[in-house]
Copies of this chain bind each other. A is one copy, B any other.
Amino acid sequence: MASVHSYHGGMPTPERTSLEEIVAAARALLESGGPAALTMQAVAGRVGVRAPSLYKRVRNRDALVRTVAEATVRDLGDHLRAAEGAGLPGMARAFRAFAHAHPAGYHLIFGWLPEESRPDLAELARQTEPVLRATAELAGPDRALEAARTVTAWANGFLSMELAGAFNLGGSVDDAFEYGIAKLVEALKK
């Protein structure tokens, strides 16, 4: 039977894309060409519609970027949970591998974006809970929050600098990473 949403008797236009497809296209464009490559026209072309059609599914470009950022936050959470058994050093290495695999998405999480594009911070906190659990065990419940902030700040800063090439002027980046996490674990022990 015909849908009640049909216009006077005809068939409604079938959907030619979906939010999921749009977000996937946006992520792919972002990773391959940086933020400048993530244009509404490029996304539309990749999913087989014209740019104005995207506005049926996303409010605007900033909102699309935010959706991409939040998908990336969930991915990061998956990686951290998968590494939780390996302790704080294991999670730090998983974080680093994640940033290497999705550098553009990584910068969406921790970079500087217009208010509208920023991922929900409560969700970020939720996805990084494995770190909080590890620091609670290490530093004790009173200092778990400060310790988690110290570790996440270090990991985040290290990856920003590494991806920006700021560590390319000598020395081993891997050594510096292992040195850092070892010193932090040692220092945070209660």
Choose among B110, B167, B171 the residue that contacts A164 (Cβ–Cβ < 8 A): B110
Shortest C-beta distance, A163 to chain B (Å), equals 7
With A149-B167, A155-B157, A157-B155 known as contacts, the answer to whether A111 contacts B111 (CB < 8 A) is yes
Shortest C-beta distance, A145 to chain B (Å), equals 5
Query: Judging by beta carbons under 8 Å apart, are A166 and B124 in contact?
Result: yes
Chain B residues with CB below 8 A from A98, complex form: none
Shortest C-beta distance, A146 to chain B (Å), equals 4
**Bound-state Cα–Cα, A190 to B23, Å:** 49
With A122-B169, A149-B167, A176-B146 known as contacts, the answer to whether A112 contacts B114 (CB < 8 A) is no
Binds B, one of A1-9, A41-49, A178-186: A178-186
Majority-rule SS of A interface residues: helix
Shortest C-beta distance, A103 to chain B (Å), equals 8
**Bound-state Cα–Cα, A112 to B183, Å:** 27
With A164-B118, A168-B121, A183-B188 known as contacts, the answer to whether A153 contacts B146 (CB < 8 A) is no
A150 at the interface (CB under 8 A from B): yes
Closest 4 CB pairs of A and B: A157-B157, A187-B187, A156-B157, A153-B157
